[in-house]
Structure 1
Amino acid sequence: MYQIASPSSFRALTCSQCPCPPVVLQPPGSWVTHALHTKMPSVSPKVTNSYIQGPTDIPLLDKTVGQCLEETVERFPDREALVFCRDGVRKTFAQFKEEVDQAAAGLLALGLRKGDRLGMWGPNKYEWVLMQFATAQAGIILVSVNPAYQASELEFVLRKVGCKALVFPNQFKTQKYYDVLKQSCPELEKCSPGGIKSKRLPDLSIVIMCDSKLPGTFHMNEVMQAGDSSHLKQLRAVQQTLSCNEPINIQFTSGTTGSPKGATLSHRNIVNNANLVGLRLGITGQEIRCGLPAPLYHCLASVGGCMVMALHGTSCIFSSPGFEGKALLEAVSREKCSFLLGTPTMFIDMLSQPDFDSYDLSTLRGGIIGGSSVPPEIMKTIITKMHMPALVVAYGTTENSPVTFMGFPDDSIDQRTETVGYIFPHTEAKIEDPETGQSVPLNTPGELQIRGYCVMLGYWNDPAKTSEVITAEGWYKTGDIGVLNEHGYCKIVGRCKDMIIRGGENIYPAELEQFLHTHPKVEEVQVSGRRWGGDISKGHTVHLSRPGGWCEGFKDGRRDLCLHPTAGWAGLEGGFPVLSFLPDQYTQWLLGTGG
């Protein structure tokens, strides 16, 4: 993949597969803040309609996850790959690779085979990343299970994909994982490890616990010790049969209605997405320490964090099992992080810490913010107060591996605060009228659709749902309302299903959210639409107040907000019940309620 031309700390990086000139890599503390191997979009307007295709001069990689990790280990064996601050775990790339092979051999020794599904259920722990790469090495498909799932949700996903194995810790906060599993698998306590026979979970036979050994389970240490030389030989043989086009990860998408759907991703999907993320950010090969608070069960962390680590040699710093703003600030200060990856709410929480100014954030340079819309005011505050001049917004969906649009570190502040960035290489995007299916003019809202290497293989065991979102021509319908400008940058203004129609006018939730964010009492807000007589949708909001709770002044001022003279949605105040609502840290959706 990459060839190192010099062994010194100032290394020349060349790509053996593309004709770009060598790029000088800087030592720690002087992070390059421009994209490598990727062309900035032209300053002059080039896009003439609501269709754009990313550059194709960067070759796609036909490699498996395991091959990528092995190449990076050869380049940076002694560099730290993973740090779990709360648990005191530190692993260099060489140490991590050795344990990945041991774990993969252990899984084979327990009877798992290529194509079997293994569920990983729990918060951000070392074992999560270990299983992510061990399963990939052995051709086992990792199923990312939401740590907050209760018995009915867990049973649904395990049955849906036919999980043969499940890995989890004993407990995280109030979630007692073993007890939750017993509700769907009461036979667990009376079964021998590896011999589970469950009526409701007929495919499940192996349960592994990260930190305990309870009846019917293996301890992770037993898995690490189970493989011998014969299993390592078996592992090497399996690796020779792996194809980059085979499924390697099932990520269940959350939603406000219906059952979760298992987006199935291949090696090729996530390897190339992670590669292009690193190239767009300009972090290839540099000793970048990345603070990673986002949950690992989500693509933002597992691909944007851990897979970028495996492709580009970055170090992933996990401050705590679940997000804690104070713990992350401490980790940035102590571990000298130069990069952060998180959601807007996470950054807001850090900025809201009473002792925020006491932390040394001088090593920060940039990062990625994504997962939900980012109000421009918040983006500008993060850039200035957290010393992150190269912070960019990323947009994507789990079904697209996940990133399809992302800014450049060199983009103007307006481009980085008003849009979700520029199209990724080897990716096509178009915007159509969701009602007519016709292409819309530039700067006109419509449904964003994506095509390219990044589109998932499909929803696991659900061809009907797959055909609803992927057309015969390979276009994935995101369900998001986007606007494409003449420079090829995209702005997301809402969801198709949440669009509010009033008097024949389309009102987009993101516009409402950005305006409501200007109120000093609003910390977080989500606007959605509800059917309200004929084709009229009634607006709903859910607000999260700043510390100190709600005041009557805000409630009384709600009418003034919604009657603002610049708002095309004036008069909707009757449909906006105001709630004080703090979602669970793992919940991605805030639900609007009201009469």
Structure 2
Amino acid sequence: MFSKCDISKTLKTSKKSITKPSYIHKVGEQPLKYITIGQLLEETANKFGERKAVISVHQNTFLTFSELLQRADKLAAAFKILNLEKNDRLGIWAPNLLEWYITKMACARAGLIAVYLNPVFEASEIEYCINKSGIAALVCANKFKHHDYYETLLSIAPELENCDPGKLKSTKIRSLKTVIRISEDVKRGTYNFNQVLDLASSSNIANLQKMQHKISPDDGCCLHFTSGTTGKPKAALATHFKMVNSGFLIGKRMQLSRKHHTICMPVPLFHVFGTIVGIMTALNHASTIVLPTDGYQPDKTLDAIKNEKCTVIYGTPTMYADLIQTQERRNEPISADLAVISGAPSTPHLLEQILKILNISKLHSAYGLTECTTTVFQAVPTETNAKSPIIVDYVQEHIEVKVINENGDLVPFGTPGELCVRCYSNMLKYWDDEEKTNEILGKDGWLRTGDQCILGEDGSGKLIGRLKDMIIRGGENVYPKEIEEILITHPNILEVQVIGTPHKRLGEEVCACMRIKPQSNLTLEDIVTFCKGELAYFKIPTRMEIFDSFPRTTSGKIQKFKLTEMLSEKNF
């Protein structure tokens, strides 16, 4: 999450005579682990075998860590029988199911590269991802929301219903040969998940276990597709080493090893929030993951928190807003040690409600990005954020950060600029995209995030927004996030995005795109009056547009570039 801060005050502070350059290397307190995900699973199963690894409430089942290892090895051995070789890509296209977790672990034990796919992808999106990453096998759900996965695949590869399982030859998705469905019903050209689980004999499993040493921590293990807020999604390749240590350090900062925690996890598993902050953190610290539903439902999430006595809750700001409304209506007897919020900016009002209405002891936030695998800035465990909405995020261990200007030079502490990160967890590359890799990842190891940041000497990081979102109005730099945080406090505004639109004299002007409450009749004059005394004159919007909804990615992030395109088409 972007840490809450008063950017106006920070920018004033930055104008003082500060000469120290914005660079920090947060040295780790202990060495990193040089093991694979599969070896980590084995270690956790040996120590905490009878502890529940995952509870799938909506499937009415659970697995202990020992059972998870056993199922993963059976499936991994079966993958070998299906002629999947080391480094082959296997796509996981499903909502939050027990089988998702098993498949991820099986890929790690088999040396495959798991490709995490958004469960609501439509035909054109799944076709793009299969071809982009060269997926050889696909594990998919049966149905989710309005999606029938088999029918979607048939629309891309009609050859599927006329071939034997594992023998697909499609003209549109040439790499895909094998489709495994998480279902009991039989569909032509596909395997069923449980059918594949039963393929492996005890000797197959024993051979699989013996070959674990042949998988290196430096091997690629997964591809996360970026959210696509600025165009076509790209696939970031991470290694076992990066995933293992990211999960360990995130959980360490949250102090998860102090006791056994049960984590309510409504966030989607395919996302880095679910995969790394969720699964990898829980695996490192022997925490239990609770999956309330296959897709987010506030009522069922609240049921899971209450019935499973969850001590930690994960969620995005939108999820928490819905959960708060549900709890206000139901008033359930719940409490938790920790609420972790990430994925988008939050307002102080929302954080106050999380603490009060959900009866949370502490708040915890984090900022990271797909290309870094881990959190770059994360809240520290202090007593100061107990029952307080103020959260400050600090540089994570084993990470170097710096802030630079448009010329690539370091700016002083307290001055806005582009955040760059160099660390053990930076992606290896964008899969099959050397040009985009070279744009973001330098030969010196520094990854340019494209995010604007203010770095403090104490290691605190305050994110202002995307570099491309910055508006230059009459020579003045305007940061949309600062304006958005003021406007969202207006009682009639539900959601707001600030963008720059062309202006003949000023170059750009500030345009507020808003979703407002029904019958509120908000005018530009109202907005100007509301902002006076809160923002400098050049930051106050001179244009406003009302939207019924904003264009979003399939993971729910607002696509500002599409807002700009929409306004351009309307000749604004």
Normalised by the size of structure 2, how large is the TM-score? 0.90
How far did residue 560 of structure 1 move? 3.5
The residue aligned with 1:587 is 556
Letter paired with 2:556? T
How far did residue 485 of structure 1 move? 1.6
The within-5 A match list for 1:209-228 is 209-211=181-183, 212-228=185-201
The residue aligned with 1:497 is 468
Measure the CA separation in 1 of the matches of 2:166 and 2:506. 55
Check if 1:252 corresponds to 2:225: yes
The residue aligned with 1:30 is none
Of structures 1 and 2, the one with the larger relative CO (CA 8 A, separation 6+) is 2
What is the alpha-carbon root mean square deviation over aligned residues?
Answer: 2.3
Question: Alignment partner for residue 288 of structure 2, among 307, 315, 334?
Answer: 315
How far did residue 584 of structure 1 move? 7.6
Normalised by the size of structure 1, how large is the TM-score? 0.87
Residues 237, 440 of structure 1: alpha-carbon distance in 2 compared, 3 angstrom cutoff: same
Deviations 1:7-32 (A, max 9, x none): xxxxxxxxxxxxxxxxxxxxxxxxxx
Residues 561, 462 of structure 1: alpha-carbon distance in 2 compared, 3 angstrom cutoff: farther
The residue aligned with 2:395 is 423
Measure the CA separation in 1 of the matches of 2:332 and 2:240. 39
The residue aligned with 1:49 is 21
How far did residue 70 of structure 1 move? 1.0
How many residues get paired?
Answer: 545
Question: Alignment partner for residue 440 of structure 2, among 445, 469, 479?
Answer: 469
The residue aligned with 2:364 is 392
**Aligned-partner SS, 1:86:** helix
Letter paired with 1:125? L
- Structure 1: unaligned runs, 5 residues or longer: 1-45
- Structure 2: unaligned runs, 5 residues or longer: 1-17
Q: Which moved more, 1:66-75 or 1:564-573?
A: 564-573
**Aligned-partner SS, 2:238:** strand
Deviations 1:259-308 (A, max 9, x none): 21100010111110100011111111621000111111100111101111
The residue aligned with 2:209 is 236
CA contact (8 A) 2:510 2:539 kept: no
CA contact (8 A) 1:448 1:482 kept: yes
The residue aligned with 2:8 is none
The residue aligned with 1:449 is 420
Residues 352, 60 of structure 1: alpha-carbon distance in 2 compared, 3 angstrom cutoff: same
Measure the CA separation in 2 of the matches of 1:261 and 1:533. 35
Measure the CA separation in 2 of the matches of 1:198 and 1:332. 45
The within-5 A match list for 1:191-590 is 191-211=163-183, 212-284=185-257, 286-353=259-326, 355-362=328-335, 364-410=336-382, 412-413=384-385, 421-433=393-405, 435-530=406-501, 536-544=507-515, 549-555=517-523, 558-560=526-528, 563-568=531-536, 570=538, 572-581=540-549, 586-590=555-559
Measure the CA separation in 2 of the matches of 1:303 and 1:553. 44
Residues 556, 464 of structure 1: alpha-carbon distance in 2 compared, 3 angstrom cutoff: closer
Deviations 1:338-395 (A, max 9, x none): 1011111111111122744521222x01132111112222223212322223211100
CA contact (8 A) 1:118 1:166 kept: yes
CA contact (8 A) 2:524 2:542 kept: no
The residue aligned with 1:10 is none
How far did residue 203 of structure 1 move? 1.0
CA contact (8 A) 2:363 2:385 kept: no
Letter paired with 2:492? K
Letter paired with 1:208? I
Q: Which moved more, 1:558-567 or 1:233-242?
A: 558-567
The residue aligned with 1:105 is 77
Check if 1:163 corresponds to 2:131: no
Letter paired with 1:466? T
Residues 288, 122 of structure 1: alpha-carbon distance in 2 compared, 3 angstrom cutoff: same
CA contact (8 A) 2:127 2:173 kept: yes
Measure the CA separation in 1 of the matches of 2:26 and 2:53. 31
The residue aligned with 1:38 is none
How far did residue 543 of structure 1 move? 4.0
Letter paired with 2:402? K
Measure the CA separation in 1 of the matches of 2:258 and 2:188. 45
